[in-house]
Structures are given as C-alpha cells and as structure tokens.
Structure 1
Amino acid sequence: MMKRQLLTACAVPAFVLALAHPAHAQDAPAAAPTEAAEAATQDEDPSQDISRDIVITAQGRAQALADVPIAVSAISGENLLLSGANDIRQLNQLAPSLLVSSTGSEANGSARIRGIGTVGDNPGLESSVVTFIDGVYRSRSGIGLNELGEIDRIEVLRGPQGTLGGRNSSAGLISIHSKKPEFTLSGSGEANYGNYDFVRLAGTITGPISQTVAARLDGVFVQRDGFYNDPANNTQINDRDRYFVRGQLLYQPTTDIDVRLIGDYSKRDENCCAATYVDRSVNQSIGNLNNPATPLTTGLPNGNNIINVLTALGQNPAAFNQGYSRNVSVTPGRDYSSGSEDWGISGQIDWRFGDISLTSITAYRTYYNAQGSDTDYGTPDLLYNAGGDGNSRLFKTFTQELRLQGSLFDDKLDWLVGGFFLDEKIRVNSNLRFGTQYGRFAACRIVSGGGLAGLYSPTGTGCLSPTGRAVIGGQVPGAPSPFGAAGPTVLAAFDRLDGISDRGSIVDVYRQDTRSFAAFTHNIVHVTDTVDLTLGLRYTDERKRFSADFTNDNTACVANQQALTPFLANPGLAPIAGAILGLSCQGNSTSELNGVSINDQRNESEFTGTAVLSWKATEDLLLYGSYTRGYKAGGFNLDRSSLKLPIQTLASLGGAQALVGNLQFDPETVNSYEIGAKYATGPFTLAVAAFRQEFKNFQLNTFDGTVFIVENVNGCTESLNGGDRDQSKFAAAPNFSPTASATGACGAGNLGYGVLAQGVELEAQMVPIRDLRIAAGLTYADTTFRDNLVGNDSGAPLNQALRKLPGQNLSNAPQIVATSSVAWTPDLGSSGLSGLFYIDGRLTDDFNTGSDLFPQKMQDSFLLVNARFGVRGPDQRWAVEIWAQNLLDQDNAQVAFNSPFQEGATTAAFQDPQYPGGRQIFSQFLAEPRTYGLTLRGSF
C-alpha cells in the first residue's frame, strides 16, 4: 500500500506539471505524406495549435488527432529518435497504456494494452494486440521485435479494433508507418557505439528515378555483446547480431494515383534468451524456497528438497541466491542459439476518382525462427531443445485488403466499405527432449520429497541407497517393503525412470492453416455541423485446419504405464504410482505417440462492430462515447501436453485422434464501452478516456512448471464456494489422488465474462515556449479476473494450476503507469547550431509477471529513465549525441516463471498460503541493464 501511495503521489504531480514525452507530431499518408511531418519537426510557435499537425489514419482516413473520437497514442519518427526506440518493445516509454515484453525467445514478444494481451509463447494463439507495418498484418507481435528502419509515425490504438480493415484484435493495435520515397534527393546516416560493444549503423537514401517514380532504400546493421554471462560455456547470451534492409518504389503517374511497392528482409543470428533464479532479495515471497532441506528427512517445512537434488547433480548453490546478477547456469554443451529470417513484399494502390477513393494492399510474408535452448535454465541436464530446423516455427502469410470510400448527401455521410482476406500457413517443429540427467533428477525428486527420504542417495541407481533398494524390493529379512508385494514392481519402475536419458521428441511437426475472410463497413454520419455518429460493422468467417505428426523414443513411459497403472486404483499405492508415472511421461513425452498423426478442423464466424457518438462542443473541445465489440479467433494449442494427463494411456482413451479436441480453444470476445474528451487549443492538448472492457472466453496460456495450459476463462455469476481456488481438478504428482472430485463447475445459464478491464487514461502535450516540448501520460487500469472463474464456456472447472486467479489483477497489468519526458532544442548562438536536451521516464506500479499469479512472481514498482544530449549543426545536417537507456540501471524482470520440473515436496506446502505453488523454484527473464553510448548523424 505504501508503494502504491508513493507511486500515485509521484504520478499526479508528473501529470499536472506535464513532464512527459514530446508532442507526437504525425503526417498524413493519404494526402500530403511529407508536409505535415515537415511542419511538425519545425520549431513550434507557442501560438500554433499543435493538435492540427498531428494527423493519423486510425479510422482509415487522414484526420487530425484532436478530431478522432477514439483513444489513440501517436508517436512521430522524431520522437522515436529522441527516445532511442528501435523496435516496438521500446514504445513502452512513450505510451503508458502499452507494455511489450519478451520471454524465452525474441520471436515470442507479447504486447499488452490496458493490461490485456496474449500470454506466453504458444504460436497457436494469435495476438490480442495486433501489429501492422505499412498496412500489412504481422502474424505475431514478436515479429515486430526487430529493427524498423526509417519510421514516419506509429499509432497505438487502445481497446478492441473490430470494424476496420486488417486482422481483428481484442485489445488494441500497433500501426507502424515507414517513411515513403520522396521526389527530392536526400539521405542520412548514423553510427552508434556503446557499452557491451554495441555497434549500430543505419542509413537511408531517397530520390527520384523519373518524374513519376521515386525510390527509397533503408538499411540497419546491429551488433552487441550479450548481457548474460555463461561461464560453463564461456559465452554471452542475449546478444545482438542482425541486419535489416528495405527498398521502396513510389509510382505517381497522375495526381490521383499512388502505387507503393515495398520489399524488406531482415536476419538475426543471436543467442537468446537466458534466465536466472528468483531469490529472496528479489522477491521476499520466495522465503526459504531456495534453501536446502536440512536434514532431508525432517527439514521439508524449513527448506526445499529440490535444492538438495539440484546441487547434488552439479548446480552451484550460489546461483539460487545471486539477486540480479547476470551470471546464468547453463548445462555444458547446451546453448540458446537463435536464428530468424523475416521477409516480405507488399503493394499498395491508392486511386482517387472524383469523390471516391480505392485502396488496395496486397502482401506476402514469410517468417522463420529456429531456437536452441537449455530449457530447464540450470546446470543439470534436465530438458533441452537442440535448435536448428528441429525446433523452429515458420509463418507464410498472404493478405489482401480492399477499401472503397467516399461521401454522399452533400458530404453528410462519409462512407467506407471493404474486405480483408488472409491465408496463413504455420509449421512448428519441436524436438523437446529430456536431458542426460533427467532420469536421476526425477527419481531423486520423488525419493527426497516424502517418506522415502531416508533411502535417498543421488549417486545410487534409482536415487536409492543399497539399503533403500533392498528395503523397497522386500529383500531385507523381517522388514517388508513399504509397498508390500508390489515392492519389486515399484523398484523396477524407479530404475526405468532413472534410465531416462536424452529421450523425448525427435521432431514433432505441427501444422495450422488459416483461411479468414472479412467484410466491413465504417461510416461517419454528420448529424449536424458539430455532432457525428460513427457506425461500423464487420463480419468475419474463419476456418483453421490442424494436423500433427509425432515422433518419440521415451519407452520408459509406456513400460511404467503397463506396470503401474493397475496400482492407481489402490489408495495405498496410488501416490507412488502417480508420482513415477507423472515424471516418466511428463508433458506426454511417450513412445506411445511415436509415428502417430492427428488432424482436426474448426470453423467460426463472428459479427463485430462499433458505434460512436461525438460532439464538437467548441472548436477546441471534442466529447464522445462509444461501444465496440471485439474478437480474436480461436484455434489449436500447438503442444502435445494438452492431449491427456501423463498418467493416462492413449489406448485407454481411444487413441490420439479421439483426443484432438482437447487442443482446441474458443474465440475471445469483448464488449468495450468508452467515454472521452479531447481538448486542443494553441500549444496545449489534453485527451481523457474512461473505459470498461468485458472479456468472455479470455484466452490464457500458462506454464505450470511441467506443461503449458491453454484455457478459455469465463466468470460465473453464482458463487462456486471456493471450488475455483482448490486443488481438486488435476492433482499433480507426487500428490496424485484418483478419487479427487472436480469442483468449481458453473451452470450454463450463469456464465458471464471472465476478465474486466476498466480505468482512465490521460495524455497531455504542451509547447510553452519556442524549442521546448513537454507532454505527459497517466493510465489507471484495473484489469482483473472475476471472483468466480470457470475454464470454458461450458462452465467446466478451472484448472487447479490457475487457482490464484479469481479476483486478482492479470499478469503484467500494473494499475498505475505514468510516462514523462521533456525535449529542449535551443539555438546555440547565431551560427545555426542547436542543442538537444531530452529525458523521458516511465513509472510503473507493482504487478505480477506470471500468468498463474503466484506471489513469487511479483515485480515491485520501478522507474525507467532514458536521456539524450547533443549538439546539432545548421538545419540539423549533422549531430553528435550521447545517450543512455535505463539511465538509473533499474533492475527488473520482464517475466518470472516456474523453473521446469523444479518442484519439491508439496504436501505440507499445499497447506501453506505462503507457497501456493508448492515448494517450487522460480526463474525470471531480466530486462536490459543500463546501456549508454555515442551517436553521430549526418544528412544531405
């Protein structure tokens, strides 16, 4: 509470004083694409109405930002240069309602607006916040985590976008517009050097080829050392090694026809992404989870037996308590090698004939990413992806958008109709395998965590001492096996579990083909000179086809299922049988899947739309209220772990094809209500929006330490009496109970939305004197789950791994965020030189970084500050600048997660609210440290 009060106290003065990011000047792509931008970058006169220079196309038309009745943040290319933003993740400093983060791969970036986004890195889930670059849909937000080249402007549309062209989005949209070719010869270049041996070279040249054709060429090259140190392999992780090139042609045969062709290619060859353990100095809720159990047989309530196991297998104990140190634990010989290629071509035609305009955007894109990983994020060899084509994802996307717009009835109706077609093919290869020490680790996890702890020996077969083996096998005279006549069978099962070494998927192949068509209309009725009614409607028809081919050489799973499955019906033997089976077949890694293929198809259609009533109360004041229905398509969980429970066999359930429906999830829908005001006069603008968004079938992806869980989350209007907060649905090994009853179901007539986002956003911009630009942003967003949750729209119980969700804020959804910056560019004497003084900041409230909301994943409030200072030559033909990102070297985590398989004894912990995840170890992906450097710029 103290931190929140402090944050609020800091945020309110920051807003009142308007110390925020600079005025977001824009240009108009449909009309005069460079004129507004040129005006926006000139020195502002205090009497000038800066809002009239901010032109956006959020409604498919070139409009002044102050006249658009929706919540949108607009960021100019100049502001991107000032902030040092090179990819969409760095937009966080400039848009308080936006948060972009990445996890286990740079390909897995996730954008959130108002606390809503797609969680995790499952490629089967589409983005709640979609990304467009030059009007072309990018399949996943992570694809935008790359160099962008010369950018004209970025528009961040907040709230669902369910009417206009392109792909549906349930939470928002990021629209990036690169600079167009120009008919005047010009060029620019820059060279950057910074710490971590950072080198960035960028250049652009544009000019005429003929009287009707202009061209532009952009290029970027980046290298940087990693900021994680891997001593085991003498290398660095999270480095940069990438380049980007984009070529454009603009053909203007008449004043009414523009044809723009764009081709781009980018390549990355990097090592990403490592993680460190979360300790008590980072998060006090860790408590004693990183302490060994001493002695093992009696110390479980005061320590964690899994720490004993990991250190016995080679983990450095210091790694569990190293705070924000960037020394990482990696298995010798494993790596995080990552390579990606992203390329595409697009063509846009804008044809104006009379009062009607036709826009056509045709595009084809291919994105490929291959990723290696030491997936357990520790020294023992427990889980890995070999990388290369065996662990990769490929997106091939064709899109076609057509828009026709004009006016009728003496300009009383501004109409727009259009259509959008998408054909996307996804191919995902996975070679996730148990490491060479997994079997010993799994056996030790069971033996050390309960009544068998006295028999624990990490150097013995099955992690059992010689005496222990004799006791379990019933070979000690006068000392019957604790498992009775089943003792020899249990001992043999331990040995098979212990023998799992370098087993799992050889290459699993997942395919998803999407065909989507949408027809839409978006119309503005000018009811009076000051009152407008906007009505939009969209119909989307979606078809997805799924297939998968599995390979697997983990025979221990099948052998132990045959031996131990009969014991699951025996209350005395069920716990040990469930524990061994769960770890033998974790994530459905079983040779029973070897050579098995499955396929499925889903079809859906949805109407979405919007209605906005706006009133220009005065020349300077716009008031509006709106309703929007948004939608995000359903699909398939591209992960075998959701087919069945590990203790079940395919044969007993009718085969893999009979279970394919378990991989489906339903579309996400949202009803959004918003009221707002935009005030713009002279050198000052202020925008205020209050919103309420109700999400049904919210798509949630969670890693519970063993498998990925994808569920649709809904709310129940009746009390579930705590049934959504208990352990009853899927009890996890080693506490498996076959008699556990499922609670927390909801009657179909009582279902409602499961997630509610509501709050207020404020943005202000000001030019109080010449050469000084100030602006501010403040977002309060209360984005929470309902108190009573169910797992789908049939009212099924919520998965027990999500028992912390009811009534809590969503992950990565801080309630309060304030952004602030100041840019001052004074003249230096009469020689034409000018100075640059720029600083921005983002102050973020506490939030939980894990989608299961365990308290060990909380991130305290923090402040990020960027700064840039320099000298510019006459007409800004050259510049010398020094800069720093994360100037205060603020340590913080992007995402914390359950360390894979690293869960210790849980029986006592389940009764302890301090440890809702059991005696689990947690890891985290850290944000970047402080970086600083020097930039040289030149232009002609």
Structure 2
Amino acid sequence: MKIVNRAMLAGVSSVALCAAPSAAFAQDADNEETFDDNLIVVTASKRQATLQETPIAVSVTTAAQIEDAQVRDLIDLQTLTPSLRVSQTSLSSVTNFIIRGFGNGGANPGIEPSVGVFIDGVYRSRAAAQISDLPDLERVEVLSGPQSTLFGKNASAGIISIVTQEPQFEFGGVAELSYGNYDAVAAKASITGPLSDTLAFSLGGSYNRRDGYIEDIIINQDINNRNRWGVRGQLLFQPNPDVSFRLIADYDKIDEVCCGATNVVDGPTGAIVRAVGGQFIPNDGLSLQSTVNFAPTNKIENYGVSLQTDWSAGAIDMTGIGAYRRSDSFVNQDSDFTSLNSIGTNINTVDIQTYTGELRAASDFDGPLNFLVGGFLFHETIDQGAEFGNGEGFVLFANAATGGAYSALEPTLRALIPDIPEGSFGGVGQGRMLDYDYENTSFSIFGQLDFEITDGLTLTVGANYTEDKKQVVSNNISTDVFSGIDLVQAGFNAAIAQGATPAQASVLASDLDTNPFLALRGLQFNPPYLNFPNAVEDGRTDDKDLSYTFRLAYNASDNLSLYATYATGFKASSFNLSNDSRPFAADFVPGSPFQSPPPAASPIRDAGLAVPNLRTGSRFAGPEESELYEIGIKGRWDGFSFNLALFDQTLEGFQANVFTGTGFILGNADEQSVRGFELDASISPIPELTFTAGVTYLDSVFDSFPDGNALSPNFTVIPADLSGERPAGVPEWSVVVGGTYTVVIGDSTSLRFHTDYQMESNVALVNGLSNFKRAVENLNASVTLGLSNGLELSLWGRNLTDAAYLNAVSPAVGQPGSLVGFRNQPRTYGGLVRFRF
C-alpha cells in the first residue's frame, strides 16, 4: 500500500473518502484504482481501496448525492447522514452540529463547537462562518468520534469536512437554476479551466433566496426566509509534478428575516400581555403564524483567503496551509415574540477574526513503516457587543403584572434609597449593554506512525499535544434603574423609619410578608454586572493536553477489513459570552447585606466587589476530554457494500450550554457517554438501481452531572441532578434510507428517479420536561431528465408529507411561565434546470 502526496496530508479528505461505499472511482491501465479527486492511489491487485484503507467511522455525501437529494444547505445534510444532526433555532447563525449526540455552541460565541468544521482544510470556528452555500462542492465528510492525530485543532466529538473541487486543466463548468414554492430561487454556477500549462482557475457563485414560511400577522411580513449569496475564486499553480499552490478567496453574505418563534405554552403572563393589548397565538407550537411587532434582522458577512502548498521531496510529501478569515454578524430580534413592544431592541454584534497555519509532512516509504507529523497554529479575536432595551410596552406589562405597583412605588423607593440613579422605572431603552473582547491563541504538534506488522495487519499510533490560552475582558453595563435597586435594603430602611432596630429591620426586610417590595423581584431582569478581570477573576484560561490514538487494522481479504481503535480527544475551555456570564458560586454568595442572616463571606464580597443584586452563574466551562473504544468491519463486493462500527464513547467535562431565556448557563457535565452502532450499506442489484441505508443507535446518558440544569414545570431554569438521565435532543434511533433508479432512453437520454427518507425516534426536547418531544420524519424525492448535451431537468420535493415538529423549546423572554418553540420547515418543492459543459 502507498499513500501518496495529499492522501495522508489532507487528513480527513483522504481518510473519509476511503470509507464511503458510494465514492466514485476509475481504474487505470496499470491496475491502480484512482479516486476521482486524485487524492489516493492504492497499488495492489484490484483491491477495493474504499474498503481497505480507512479504519475510521466515516459518512461521505458526494456532490451527486447532494444534487439528487436537492440539499440546499448544511441543515438539509442530516437527511442523508444518520449520525449527524443539524438544527437552526432562534437566528440564522444559531446552527448547531451534533455527532453521536455530542455537540454544543449555538448562540454563545464564546464556545468553540465540539464538532469541528473544516472547509478545504481550513478550520471554521463558529456557526456563522460554517453555513455558507458553496458553488463547487465536491463532497461532505462526517467523521464520528474524536479525531486527535490528524487535526491541529482538536474536535472532541467529530469532524465535518467540506471539500470543494480544485481548479482543473480542462475547460468545463456547470450552471443551475431552481425555482420552488415560497417563491424560492436558487442559482449556482462555476467555471474552471487552464490559464496556461501550469496555471488553472475556477470561479463560482451562488444565490439562494426564498420567502419565509412563517407569516407574521402583525407586521404583514414573512419570517424564516432565505437570502444569501456568495462568490469563490481559486487558482492552482503547478510548475512541476512535485509542487503545487492552491489559492482560494471567498466572500458570502446573509441578510435574512429569521427566526420566528411560536407559543408552545400560554403561561400566566399571557393574560397580562393580552390585558394591555398585546397579541400572540397561544398554545400552538406548530403554527405557521407569528406576532412580532418588528421583523428580526440577521446580517452575516464572511470572507477569507487561504493558500495551500504541496510539495514532494523524494519519499517525503509536505503540505502547508495558511488562512485568514473574518466573520461579522449583526442581529436584532423582538425577543418577547408578541405584538406588545415590551422588548424594544435585542441587538447582538459579533466580529470574529481568525488566523490559522498548518504544516505537515508524510512519508511515502515502500517498507512497513510510514509516518505523518505536523504542527498547527491558531489565533482568534472576537469583539462582541450587545444591547437589550425596553420598549414602550414594558411599563404597561409591569404595571399589569403588579396591579400598578411597579410605577406607583417609584416615589416611595426613591425616598427610601436616595442614591437610585436618574430615570423612570422601565423607561424606553433601559436594559443592558454587553461588550466582550476575547482572544484565543493555541498551538499543537501532532503525529501518526503506521507499522505494518505483517501482510494486511497494521498498527497505528498517533498523538497530539495542544496548548490553548484564552483571555476575556468584559465591559457590561446595566442601565435598568429598577433592576439595580436592593429591595431588601428598601425594606430595611422602611423598617428603620418606622422605629425598628437594625436587627429587627433585617428580619422584616428578608420576609416577603413584611417587605412588600420583594414581590417585585421578578421584574428585575437586568441586574448590575461585575466586570472582569478583577481582583478575584482573572478572565484567563490556560489548557494543556496530550491526546493519543491506538489502532489495529486488518485486511482479512480483498473484500473485508476490520479494525479496533482506542482514541482520546480534547477541546479547550470555553467562555460564557452571554448575559448570564456571572461569578461562579464558589467566588460569590448572593444576598443583601441588609438581610437576616447576612450572606456568607466569599472572595468577591471580601474584596469589596459586590454590587446590588449580583447573581451567580458561570464565566467559563473547563475543557472536554473524550475517550473512544470502537471496533468496525467494512465489506465490499460487486453490487454490495457495508460499513459497521460499534462504539463506546465518553466525554468528561462536556460543555453543557443551557438557554435561560435571557442568556446561557455554561457548565461541565462530569461525564456523558454514548454506546451504540452505526451501519451504512449500499446494494445495486442491477447497475441502474442503487439502494442505500444508514442506521444509528445511540444509548446516551449523563453518567454523572449533579450540577446540571433543567427546566422546571413553570419553565424556569433550575439546578438539577441529571445523573442517569438521557440528554435532551439525542434520539435513540436514526434511520436514513434511499434509492436511485436510472432509466436509459436511447443512447443520449436518461431518466433518474431518487427518493430518501429520514426518521428519528421520539426524544425529549429539553431536560426536565419529558412531555415536550420531537419525532422526525422526512420524505424527499426528485426525478431528473438528463440529455446528451449536458442539459438536465429536474422536479424535486422535500418533506413531501409536510411533517411538522419542534426543533427546540425555551423559556419565553420576560414572560415567566410561558414557553416558546421553533418549528421545522414545511413541505417545499420545485423544478431545476442544470447545464454542464
């Protein structure tokens, strides 16, 4: 066996392709099976390289499969890959990738996802930079489990690698235009060819727009639309067979009205909203109507440049990849999701700049020993700003909720606490302003050694040493006058004014029955912040880790191979860059100095840093460390192939990110594990007909999570011991089946029929509320007429049964006791014209 040039150096690209039963290949005159992307050459007697070379659980979706299934973006990819789940909830950029039940990130920009996303070998660190439509896609590869030794930026749960087509030295291209319901227009085009004998180019672009499928009956506008476009250019310079340079530059933009939320449970505050003229559609989580009073804004710009250099020096092949990327986003959302303008603004801006550099060397020896060694550098800065302000409807809501006490008690409270800042309670624009400056620098050294013990039996040993440093500076301000009042102090001062002793006043101020001001605590949504770094919190993390892999692979025959793997993985600490970034409980004991008994001493209080109504939460979550035991078997014969993996995977310190309605609680699960299997198979009884099937079974559990959080019956986030519980959102069974049948009509025309079906078993949407569940059924189909001149005409449909379900639920913002949800996309269908030349 020889792995040459970028075969080992491309890491996931070469690895993943070998495992795909559907990967296309051609056989040359020298009996070498060469894949269509020229990344891997296997020198053997007609052995199936796809079966023998890759002892890793991998799912590959080719460009042809994506075209047949009419996959519009990465969210649709899960309909073809059962181990992958992709969800979009409150924002266009809140897209979360989950493999084998592990995944995190979402709307908290301080979290690097546990599932790493690479595009042409370049790491994309956040969802906003990962969801672009790519015009010249070649394949998408999903690697399950920790990938420690071939990646500089470790991903503790898995990898998604997106590979685009490199420029060709033969002129060609493709253009397509699709139109569907919801006035959907999708266009893609790419062209490639030579500029000289040594220089080739490619240029591609995409445009994707669609009306929203949720109608807002207040502003008479559609929500949950698509509106994104992008361009991508490449140059490939090959001055000689041993050296090549691939330069890629891209720009894409998203400007969407997203995302609409529905009322799942109309809580006690619903009547208050209606009493002051607000409207919403109660208790209908699957509604296709919404009631916001202004359209949500999602604007994202992504752009970057990368240079990949490959060169061969005898028996050593080298690859270097350097990249710069920037991702800027701006969102504004009516987060109360009602027509009552109680929340006037909820603006969030995130500007991310990322620099990456990687250098790898791989041997190409004929003997039993080969190696790969490399280094990776990563530097990233994030500038996040947020603004959350009251609308003119907030005072109406607050007074209705308190029988008018909210405004009526303002003069009394000002008299009791003279230093209350200027400004009326609940004034328009009052709220909070967040500002985080984040910096992350990391480097890693990694390597892998393959030793062929005997013919067909190979031992692989790999390791990755990583150091990761982060630092954050916060400048968060609460301008909410009422939220900064110590209501215990107000009761204390009132008792003193009535002749009570300090000891008596402390007791009276702490009791709801004797201090009526405490009944207003529920309206203190934006209490003051303690910024960091400070004398107690340094705002820094510094993580070091050594991950490693041991694997034994055996080619039992030309048609069958087996492997056994033990691997570990690592992801560094993540910061909580949200409204609920608050001191750890170990650093601060909440409470008022006027209460009885007074709050216990704590480092922050001892340092004189406590501010009124300071709450606890989390500043960051510690690192994740994963461990994997896996055995697999792969077989391939004429017309039939399969891959089976059985695994036991554990994450210690899994970074759980729980949405509270106003921010996130970020913490570590002591241990979360999953046991199960992945099976994918392909059978072609005749050349014109192919059936595919994929099944994933996950027995997932929080082995130990005593400090977890869950939703209570009244939909507030409360501490909960989740040990022994199944993590929310992780289905036990995921199944994908499909079929493609091609009818050849004469010598120049073909008719291709395709269908695929996705199923996920019923699963709770959130921990603590077992009665809110999701079961997924998704039927898709297409029929394509292909002509000899390169013209193709297609009719397609997705979610043909119009199955409806909720992707997620969360507490309603500013409405205790109510629950909102985000539903799936309804049926879509249309036609497409494609021309290849």
Sort the Cα spacing of 1:245 and 1:439 in 2 relative to 1 into closer, same or farther, 3 A.
same
Q: Letter of the 2:646 partner, please give it.
A: A
Q: Encode CA deviations 1:740-799: one digit per residue, 9 max, x unaligned.
A: xxxxxxxxxxxxxx211111110101222112121110000011112662369xxxxxx9
Sort the Cα spacing of 1:574 and 1:862 in 2 relative to 1 into closer, same or farther, 3 A.
same
Aligned to 1:329: 291
Q: Letter of the 2:787 partner, please give it.
A: G
CA distance in 2, matches of 1:857, 1:653: 45
Q: Encode CA deviations 1:58-77: one digit per residue, 9 max, x unaligned.
A: 99999635421110001111
Is contact 1:557-1:584 (8 Å) kept? yes
Q: Letter of the 2:819 partner, please give it.
A: F
Q: For residues 135-214 of structure 1, what are the structure 2 equivalents within 5 Å?
A: 135-214=121-200
Aligned to 2:394: 438
Sort the Cα spacing of 1:63 and 1:710 in 2 relative to 1 into closer, same or farther, 3 A.
farther
Q: Encode CA deviations 1:882-905: one digit per residue, 9 max, x unaligned.
A: 1011111111122111112322xx
Q: Letter of the 1:99 partner, please give it.
A: R
Count of aligned pairs between the two proteins = 782
CA distance in 1, matches of 2:792, 2:648: 45
1:600 to 539, 544, 559: 539
| Structure 2 residue 801 is the aligned partner of structure 1 residue 933 | no
Q: Encode CA deviations 1:133-161: one digit per residue, 9 max, x unaligned.
A: 00000011342222121111111000111
Moved more, 210-219 or 645-654: 645-654
CA distance in 1, matches of 2:74, 2:788: 31
Q: Encode CA deviations 1:879-937: one digit per residue, 9 max, x unaligned.
A: 1111011111111122111112322xxxxxxxxxxxxxxxx211111111111111011
Q: Secondary structure at the match of 1:79?
A: helix
Shift of 1:383: 2.9
Shift of 1:804: 6.7
Q: Secondary structure at the match of 1:588?
A: coil
Q: Letter of the 2:559 partner, please give it.
A: D
Q: Encode CA deviations 1:459-479: one digit per residue, 9 max, x unaligned.
A: x45388xxxx8xx99xxxxxx
Shift of 1:86: 3.1
CA distance in 2, matches of 1:575, 1:924: 39
Aligned to 2:382: 426
Aligned to 2:748: 832
Shift of 1:184: 0.7
Q: Percent identity?
A: 30
Moved more, 606-615 or 358-367: 606-615
Q: Encode CA deviations 1:258-286: one digit per residue, 9 max, x unaligned.
A: 2100000001111111111115xxxxxxx
Shift of 1:227: 1.0
Is contact 1:885-1:931 (8 Å) kept? yes
2:765 to 840, 846, 849: 849
2:370 to 414, 418, 426: 414
What is the TM-score when the length of structure 1 is the normalising length?
A: 0.77
Q: For residues 456-855 of structure 1, what are the structure 2 equivalents within 5 Å?
A: 456=403, 460=404, 462=406, 499-505=425-431, 507-561=433-487, 563-564=489-490, 566=492, 569-570=507-508, 571-573=510-512, 579-580=518-519, 582-589=521-528, 600-644=539-583, 654-655=608-609, 662-714=618-670, 754-786=671-703, 789-790=706-707, 801-803=718-720, 805-828=722-745, 830-850=746-766, 852-855=767-770
CA distance in 2, matches of 1:713, 1:160: 18
Shift of 1:848: 2.1
Q: Letter of the 2:651 partner, please give it.
A: F
Shift of 1:647: 5.8
| Structure 2 residue 391 is the aligned partner of structure 1 residue 396 | no
Is contact 2:707-2:719 (8 Å) kept? no
CA distance in 2, matches of 1:758, 1:201: 42
Q: Secondary structure at the match of 2:478?
A: coil
Q: Letter of the 1:335 partner, please give it.
A: A
Q: Which runs of 5 or more structure 2 residues have no equivalent in the other structure?
A: 1-5, 493-504, 584-588, 594-603, 710-715
Shift of 1:106: 1.3
Shift of 1:520: 0.3
Aligned to 2:788: 874
Q: Secondary structure at the match of 1:462?
A: helix
Aligned to 1:97: 83
CA distance in 2, matches of 1:242, 1:757: 37
What is the TM-score when the length of structure 2 is the normalising length?
A: 0.86
Sort the Cα spacing of 1:323 and 1:708 in 2 relative to 1 into closer, same or farther, 3 A.
closer
Aligned to 1:892: 805
CA distance in 2, matches of 1:846, 1:58: 41
CA distance in 2, matches of 1:514, 1:786: 31
Identify the structure with the greater helix proportion. 1
Q: Secondary structure at the match of 1:855?
A: strand
Q: Letter of the 2:652 partner, please give it.
A: K
Q: For residues 50-449 of structure 1, what are the structure 2 equivalents within 5 Å?
A: 64=50, 66-279=52-265, 290=266, 304-316=267-279, 319-331=281-293, 334-387=294-347, 391-408=348-365, 410-442=366-398, 444-445=400-401, 447=402
Q: Secondary structure at the match of 1:117?
A: coil
Higher relative contact order (CA 8 A, sep 6+): 1
Shift of 1:643: 1.6
Shift of 1:939: 1.8
Sort the Cα spacing of 1:51 and 1:626 in 2 relative to 1 into closer, same or farther, 3 A.
farther
Q: Letter of the 1:502 partner, please give it.
A: V
Q: Secondary structure at the match of 1:557?
A: helix
Aligned to 1:721: none
CA distance in 2, matches of 1:60, 1:682: 18
Shift of 1:586: 2.2
Sort the Cα spacing of 1:696 and 1:656 in 2 relative to 1 into closer, same or farther, 3 A.
farther
CA distance in 2, matches of 1:862, 1:135: 32
Sort the Cα spacing of 1:176 and 1:874 in 2 relative to 1 into closer, same or farther, 3 A.
same
Identify the structure with the greater strand proportion. 2
Q: Secondary structure at the match of 1:857?
A: strand
Is contact 2:33-2:42 (8 Å) kept? no
Sort the Cα spacing of 1:509 and 1:462 in 2 relative to 1 into closer, same or farther, 3 A.
closer
Q: Letter of the 2:803 partner, please give it.
A: Q
Q: Which runs of 5 or more structure 1 residues have no equivalent in the other structure?
A: 1-26, 280-289, 291-303, 448-455, 474-485, 715-753, 793-798, 904-919
Q: Letter of the 1:901 partner, please give it.
A: G
1:863 to 760, 766, 777: 777
Sort the Cα spacing of 1:802 and 1:847 in 2 relative to 1 into closer, same or farther, 3 A.
farther
Shift of 1:43: 11
Is contact 2:152-2:443 (8 Å) kept? no
Is contact 2:51-2:636 (8 Å) kept? no
Q: Letter of the 1:835 partner, please give it.
A: L
Q: Secondary structure at the match of 2:64?
A: helix
Q: Secondary structure at the match of 1:888?
A: coil
